[in-house]
Structure 1
Amino acid sequence: MHLSPTDSEPSQPRRRTRVSRTTRSAVATAAAGAFIALALLPVTAAQAAAPAAVTRTVAAAPTAECAEPAAAPTYLTNIRTGRHAGFDRIVLDFSGNVPAYGSIGGPDQLQYCGSGQTVPLTGAEYTEITTNAAAHDENGDPTYPGPRLVYTPHLAKVTGFAVTCDFEGHLNVGFATKAGVTEIHTFPLTNPGRIVIDVRY
Structure 2
Amino acid sequence: MTFIRARGALVAVATALVVLGAPLPASAGQDPWCGIWWGSLPETTATPAPPVGQVTDVRAGQHPCFDRLVVDLQSGAPAGYDVRYVDQVSAQGSGEPVPVEGGAVLQVVVRAPAYDETRGVTYLPADPARVADVRGARTLEQVAWAGSFEGQTSLAVGTRARLPFRVFVLDGAPGSPHGARVVVDVAHHW
TM bin, normalised by shorter chain, reads 0.5 to 0.7
Residue deviations 1:96-124 (CA, integer Å, cap 9, x gap): 23112111213x12221222222231211
Aligned ranges for residues 58-69 of structure 1 at < 5 Å? 58=43, 60=45
User: What is the root-mean-square deviation of aligned Cα atoms in Å?
Assistant: 2.4
Check the 8 A contact 1:57/1:185 in 2, yes or no. no
- Equivalent position to 2:116, from 103, 117, 137: 137
Number of the residue aligned with 2:99: 120
Kept after mapping to 2: 8 A contact 1:161/1:176: yes
Larger Cα-atom Rg? 1
> What residue in structure 2 maps to residue 167 of structure 1?
149
Q: How far did residue 57 of structure 1 move?
A: 6.2
**Alpha-carbon distance between aligned partners in 2 of 1:138 and 1:121, rounded to the nearest angstrom:** 31
What letter is aligned with 2:180? G
* Residue ranges of structure 1 left out of the alignment (5+ in a row): 1-53, 64-69
List per-residue Cα deviations over 1:67-105 (Å, max 9, x = no partner): xxx542310001110111121000000012311211121
User: 4+ runs of 1 displaced by more than 4 Å?
Assistant: 59-63
Distance 1:105 1:92 in 2: 18
Q: In 1, are the aligned partners of 2:91 and 2:97 still within 8 Å (CA)? A: yes
1:189 partnered with 2:170: yes
Report whether the alignment pairs 1:200 with 2:187. Answer: yes
Tell me: CA distance 1:188–1:62, structure 2 relative to 1, closer, same or farther (3 Å). Answer: farther
Any idea what SS the aligned residue of 2:98 has? coil
Relative to the length of structure 1, the TM-score reads 0.61
Q: Percent identity?
A: 27
CA distance in 1, matches of 2:146, 2:64: 28
Any unmatched runs of 5+ in structure 2?
1-38, 173-178
Q: Match for residue 40 of structure 2?
A: 55
**Alpha-carbon distance in 1 for matches of 2:62, 2:78:** 23
Q: Contact 1:75/1:95 (CA < 8 Å) preserved in 2? A: yes
1:101 maps to 81
| d(CA) in 1 for partners of 2:103, 2:47 | 32
